[in-house]
Structure 1
Amino acid sequence: MKLFKRKENFSPVQTASGIRNVHPFSDLSGYSPFTSCEFKLYDSLKEAIPVIDAAIKKTVRLVGGFKAVCEDENAQIKLAEFLRSVNVNGTGVGIDIFVSCFLEQLLTYGTAVGEVVLSENCEVSALYNASLDDIVLKRGNNPLDVRIYRKEIEGNVPIDMDELISICTLSPKPGNVYGTSLLKGLPFISGILLTIFNTVGTNWERVGNVRFAVSYKPTDSNDRAFAKERTEQIAKAWSETMRDSRASDFVSVGDVSIKVIGADNQILDSEIPVRQLLEQIVSKLSIPPFLLGLQWSSTERMASQQADILTSELEYYRRLLEPTIRKICGVYLRTIGFDCNFTIEWDNINLQDETELAQARLNNANAEAVEIQNIKLRNEVKINGQQGT
């Protein structure tokens, strides 16, 4: 009896680059104008400003889950098991991980690429989220033909089985194969915000680590004659006093004054400009501020209009993801011999208070009951009028 199964052989992932650290400046070998630099810029934004990273991750979670429903019952069972247990990127299990990574890549860079990996038996073995640093998208012979190339040391190599690869773009510009990042337009605002944060940190570092100005003024000619020696004595005594870990006194004679450097200056109030900049960032990311820990109002609840707007945003992202999900499910069903129709059913998005929703349903039911009663009364009046005539 075998305790361990033989490790399944995967076909090489087509969208994984073969370029490795050839020399310290290997990025120059696969240089692609604008795109690679832009991708690194968006990564830096997420790392430098936690609000941006938190907003993208919360959007990914709020999109919710889904299930695929097939007409054939046997296909339904196998497809559900596949979606639950498929290998993702070699470290994850389940299509939810693939979709989350796919959507985060789409929101961050404006373009997401995923691949269905087949085994030697032409069965779906894994799903792979391709790095945009490893591939290049170009126009083919006509404007509707998009070709995928893998970056290699010898140059860009075209990918053969591109039907196993799914590309999704967010708000692409006309004539451009790459999409537009959700973070586009934020580098300028974020740069100002980081400048403020850096300045505040520097000021507080100076305030916390106090510096003193010790001044000695000679009073007469005798003091002026020995001013240099007395200044060196005062500096030595002051240094010993400040280095002592215990509380100690500094005693001196003559006109000696001690002041804190910068004590007369005030730190600028950064609350208003920081809030204005964060409002610009939040408006771009379309996430309610309180979900990001920003308490700008006395209430922490969303209005029904805000919930509807956020729901429409999430449904838009679902529509972008669904073709990729359908392609993965379709490839899997065909590899196991099924050609049945299926639908993608998403989980319900509920962002409003259950009490308010229940009250709204009750009000609608009462209004419908009143309308039915009015219809019955009108019908009775018509019947009585006809009988009277």
Structure 2
Amino acid sequence: MRLFGRARAAEPAAAVQTVPGGRGGAFSGALDRYQAAGMERKLYDTLRLTVPIIDAAVCKIVRLTGGVSVQCESRRAREDLNRFLESVQVNACGTGIETFLGIYLEQLLTYGTALGEIVVSQDGKEISGLYNASLDDVELRTGDSPLELKIYSRDGAGNWLLVQRPELIAVSTLSPRPGELLGESVLKGLPFVSSVLLKIYNSMGLNWERVGNVRFAVTYQPGDGNERAYTKERAIQIAQEWRKAMKSGGDISDFVAVGNVKIQTIGADNQILDSEVPVRQMLEQIIAKLSIPPFLLGLSWSTTERMSAQQADILTSELEAYRRILNPVIGKVCSLWLRLHGYSPEHTVVWDDINLQDAVELSNARLLEARAKQIEQELKPEGEPEAPLEGGTQ
């Protein structure tokens, strides 16, 4: 019995070029991915896993980048395109281009290179979704010219095959070196600093385990005469009573011993090294590399209101730089959708304001500049020629 009316014919699944063969549907097992670049990416993954402040900084940058919308000359095209951007499928479980851009930017920051694909339906008339490809599943090479990019993907046997429609794939790199194809991660230079930080944390844990978990030294000094003949028996009896007293948990238990018994703590008198200064030095290096103000990561370091405002301005410029990298990716998706639906591919990418405070500061700056020009016009005498440019002739 049909519960929802006439059954619809199953649409053919859209083919994704950047997923290795054999991984459609059920996961068929990991492939051999031990390359030089692959090992570097695993290092950065481990770095984010072991140093929480690095992972928090990367996630904070992705979230602060903000949302995006598109403006077109045609009102209908603008409404339809923005509706598509909000509802487009991303990977298997995501929805919306902001989800795609968040994963794309996180990949770009972590590895220095990001790769995404526009998945088109079998008939080529509709965009089925957006796919964030793993860098372990693709390989980037240069062609006959250093300006030519060739993208390869694995097949079911693990061989590299040239992607047939590279125009559907977006590739972005972050600060690549001259002559290099891949970009550089923002985490580059942090493995050494992070290793020192982890050594400090590891030493702190060991010291607290040794010194913080108090141990006791029970010393029995036998007296003269017959007491020395029963030293072993007395020591065993004291050890049993002490063990019984220590295993009593939270209950109060008395320890009773006969003879000259001395009890001392092991480790409580030792002083643990102060780790605040070296830990802060390492964290300062990490934060300087990631360009994140400390107060955004929950670090209550001494700062002034003016310094916080300057740090926020620096972060805003960093976010603007990341937005400029993402603009071509958004433009490729929007232009293709507009052409497929018969609209003009011309459009403008509009990002949301990073925060209201920045918008207020910019508005005040424009207002002050307009007032200054107005005052200059009012103070300038009538008929006075304008001042010549420097280096010019009158």
- TM-score, shorter chain, exceeding 0.5: yes
1:233 corresponds to 2:245: no
Aligned with 1:218 (options 216, 222, 225): 222
How many Å separate the matches in 1 of 2:226 and 2:305?
72
Q: Is the 8 A contact 1:88 1:127 kept in 2?
A: yes
How many Å separate the matches in 2 of 1:303 and 1:351?
16
How many Å separate the matches in 2 of 1:6 and 1:206?
68
Per the alignment, in what secondary structure is the counterpart of residue 379 of structure 1? coil
Structure 2: gaps (5+ residues) = 386-394
Q: Tell me what 2:348 maps to.
A: 343
Moved more, 176-185 or 357-366: 357-366
Aligned with 1:316 (options 310, 316, 321): 321
Aligned pairs for 1:24-63 within 5 A: 29-32=32-35, 34-63=36-65
Code of the residue aligned with 2:253 in structure 1: it is S
Alpha-carbon distance, 1:52 to partner: 0.8
1:124 corresponds to 2:135: no
Kindly tell me: are residues 244 and 343 of structure 1, through their superposed partners in 2, closer, same or farther at Cα, counting changes over 3 Å?
same
Residues 256-307 of structure 1, C-alpha deviations (whole Å, 9 max, x = no match): 1111111221111111111100000000000110001011115467544333
How many Å separate the matches in 2 of 1:272 and 1:314?
30
How many Å separate the matches in 2 of 1:154 and 1:47?
29
Q: Is the 8 A contact 1:30 1:151 kept in 2?
A: no
Normalised by the length of structure 1, the TM-score is 0.88
Q: Is the 8 A contact 1:16 1:150 kept in 2?
A: yes
Per the alignment, in what secondary structure is the counterpart of residue 226 of structure 1? helix
CA RMSD of aligned residues (A): 2.6
1:370 corresponds to 2:375: yes
Structure 1: gaps (5+ residues) = 383-389
Query: How many residues are paired up?
Result: 376
Aligned with 1:306 (options 302, 311, 321): 311
Per the alignment, in what secondary structure is the counterpart of residue 92 of structure 2? coil
How many Å separate the matches in 2 of 1:275 and 1:205?
23
Alpha-carbon distance, 1:44 to partner: 1.2
Q: Tell me what 1:286 maps to.
A: 291
Code of the residue aligned with 1:205 in structure 2: it is E
1:18 corresponds to 2:21: yes
Q: Tell me what 1:386 maps to.
A: none
Q: Tell me what 2:257 maps to.
A: 252
Kindly tell me: are residues 342 and 214 of structure 1, through their superposed partners in 2, closer, same or farther at Cα, counting changes over 3 Å?
same
Aligned with 1:154 (options 137, 155, 158): 158
Alpha-carbon distance, 1:379 to partner: 2.4
Kindly tell me: are residues 4 and 218 of structure 1, through their superposed partners in 2, closer, same or farther at Cα, counting changes over 3 Å?
farther
Residues 199-232 of structure 1, C-alpha deviations (whole Å, 9 max, x = no match): 2222223344321111112232533322211111
How many Å separate the matches in 2 of 1:330 and 1:345?
15
How many Å separate the matches in 2 of 1:73 and 1:351?
27
Per the alignment, in what secondary structure is the counterpart of residue 248 of structure 1? coil
Q: Tell me what 1:172 maps to.
A: 176
Q: Is the 8 A contact 1:62 1:314 kept in 2?
A: yes
Residues 152-173 of structure 1, C-alpha deviations (whole Å, 9 max, x = no match): 4332222111111011000112
Kindly tell me: are residues 333 and 35 of structure 1, through their superposed partners in 2, closer, same or farther at Cα, counting changes over 3 Å?
same
Alpha-carbon distance, 1:131 to partner: 0.9
Kindly tell me: are residues 200 and 19 of structure 1, through their superposed partners in 2, closer, same or farther at Cα, counting changes over 3 Å?
farther
How many Å separate the matches in 2 of 1:374 and 1:128?
61
1:199 corresponds to 2:203: yes
How many Å separate the matches in 1 of 2:112 and 2:6?
45
Q: Tell me what 2:388 maps to.
A: none
Per the alignment, in what secondary structure is the counterpart of residue 284 of structure 1? helix
How many Å separate the matches in 1 of 2:188 and 2:348?
34
Moved more, 217-226 or 270-279: 217-226
Code of the residue aligned with 1:274 in structure 2: it is V
How many Å separate the matches in 2 of 1:358 and 1:331?
35
Code of the residue aligned with 2:266 in structure 1: it is I
Kindly tell me: are residues 129 and 120 of structure 1, through their superposed partners in 2, closer, same or farther at Cα, counting changes over 3 Å?
same
1:9 corresponds to 2:23: no
Q: Is the 8 A contact 2:336 2:345 kept in 1?
A: no
Code of the residue aligned with 1:308 in structure 2: it is D
How many Å separate the matches in 1 of 2:47 and 2:121?
38
How many Å separate the matches in 2 of 1:287 and 1:22?
40
Code of the residue aligned with 2:145 in structure 1: it is N
Q: Tell me what 1:89 maps to.
A: 91
Q: Is the 8 A contact 1:88 1:94 kept in 2?
A: yes
Kindly tell me: are residues 5 and 42 of structure 1, through their superposed partners in 2, closer, same or farther at Cα, counting changes over 3 Å?
farther
How many Å separate the matches in 2 of 1:321 and 1:48?
28
Kindly tell me: are residues 116 and 355 of structure 1, through their superposed partners in 2, closer, same or farther at Cα, counting changes over 3 Å?
closer
Per the alignment, in what secondary structure is the counterpart of residue 322 of structure 2? helix
How many Å separate the matches in 1 of 2:221 and 2:117?
78
Code of the residue aligned with 1:35 in structure 2: it is A
Q: Is the 8 A contact 1:19 1:151 kept in 2?
A: no
Q: Tell me what 1:274 maps to.
A: 279
Alpha-carbon distance, 1:12 to partner: 2.1
Per the alignment, in what secondary structure is the counterpart of residue 382 of structure 2? helix
How many Å separate the matches in 2 of 1:301 and 1:9?
59
Code of the residue aligned with 2:15 in structure 1: it is P
Alpha-carbon distance, 1:369 to partner: 4.4
Residues 315-348 of structure 1, C-alpha deviations (whole Å, 9 max, x = no match): 1111111111111111112222233311212223
Kindly tell me: are residues 357 and 4 of structure 1, through their superposed partners in 2, closer, same or farther at Cα, counting changes over 3 Å?
farther
